[in-house]
Amino acid sequence: MSNPQTEFDSPWKEILENYFEDFVQFFLPVASTEIDWNRPPEFLDKELQQVVRDAELGRRLADKLVKVWRSNGEETWVLIHVEVQSQDEADFAERMFVYHYRIFDKYRRKVVSLAVLGDERRNWKPAQFGYQLWETKTDFNFKVVKLLDYYDRWSELEASPNPFAIVVVAHLKAQETRSNRLERKRWKLILIRRLYEQNYSRTEVINLFHFIDWVMSLSEELEQEFWQSVQQLEEERSMPYITSVERIGLQKGRQEGRQEGLLKGIELGLKLKFGAEGLAVLSVVLSEVGEIKDVGLLESILSGLETANTLGEWRKLYQPRLE
């Protein structure tokens, strides 16, 4: 069984930054109307790391500290805490409290804490931390969104034009079909079709496809069948957004700036550039390039996908280095 952390970590981080306004509108609508979206939010990842570096807080998967401006001009710090672990944590609420007070202590700004729980235990919903002794009382409450609860709001997800409706469905169906990849392929195609039915722009289709493709991985055989269906769908609609965007796929890999991101960019670019031929050797190629630790070489391999005319020509860029 795959590790839920590796399945959901990076795609959630990316989608949060690409669609933060939509994220707030979907999960915290009361705040959305009070934020001045004409002033772009600032993502303070380094600042958040500094705030919590001395705390024994464990591995948080997609924490975001975001600075936004309210419509009245007031500066507000928002802590977005995306939790996608497969099991509950006894001290989760305490950790949320520690994050909250450390950020407040450093910046002396109002902090809004929101936890999005993507685990698979329906009754685990920590939303409060506190204690009381004699005449002293601490009571910290934070906003919690439980993704599993959206099973009871399925019609809302299907009707919503917000990109995070697609994200939630993809997350839930990726979990649900972990042991049934044939059903996963069916849902993956349903979601891709929905991207076109919602009349999203080319960029939005590509961004959301990247999330869906990452969390809903398939076997090599099913992946080939999936891409054939995607190509047929795009031909029917005369909208080749996905199967002809290798340059954009490659750019995503570069932007992540890490070995993991480069490898993911190579995987996506290989699918987009060479189609069924690329899928047929995907596992072999990923095994080969996965051994390469030189980030500069990985970047060259990634760039080579743009200019190589054949799969064999492209593989010659790195195979001699492995001998």
pLDDT beyond 70 at 140: yes
Whole-number mean pLDDT of the chain?
79
pLDDT band at 26 (very low <50, low <70, confident <90, very high): very high
Q: What is the pLDDT of residues 90-131, one digit of tens each?
A: 788 888 898 888 888 888 888 888 888 888 888 888 899 999
User: Which residues fall within 8 angstroms of residue 241, CB to CB, at 6 or more apart?
Assistant: 196, 202, 205, 206, 209, 234
Cβ burial, residue 171 (10 Å; 0-12/13-18/19+): buried
pLDDT of residue 80: 77
Say which residue, 96 or 245, is predicted with more confidence.
96
pLDDT band at 248 (very low <50, low <70, confident <90, very high): very low
Judging by DSSP bridges, how do beta strands 42-43 and 75-83 pair with one another?
unpaired
Q: Which of 25-29, 47-51, 91-95, 196-200 has the lowest mean pLDDT?
A: 47-51
- Structure-token pair, residue 150: 């959206």
- How confident is the model over 280-284, as a mean pLDDT? 76
pLDDT of residue 258: 54
Say which residue, 317 or 138, is predicted with more confidence.
138
pLDDT of residue 96: 87
pLDDT of residue 203: 80
* % of the chain beyond a pLDDT of 90: 20
Closest of 89, 87, 101 to residue 130, by C-alpha: 101
pLDDT of residue 81: 73
* Separation of alpha carbons 40 and 47, rounded Å: 17
pLDDT beyond 90 at 21: yes
pLDDT band at 61 (very low <50, low <70, confident <90, very high): low
Q: What is the pLDDT of residues 261-273, one digit of tens each?
A: 677 777 777 777 7
pLDDT beyond 70 at 158: yes
Count CB neighbours of 305 within 10 A: 24
* % of the chain beyond a pLDDT of 70: 81
pLDDT beyond 80 at 285: no
pLDDT beyond 70 at 8: no
pLDDT of residue 6: 44
pLDDT beyond 60 at 3: no
pLDDT beyond 80 at 192: yes
pLDDT beyond 70 at 57: no
pLDDT of residue 10: 62
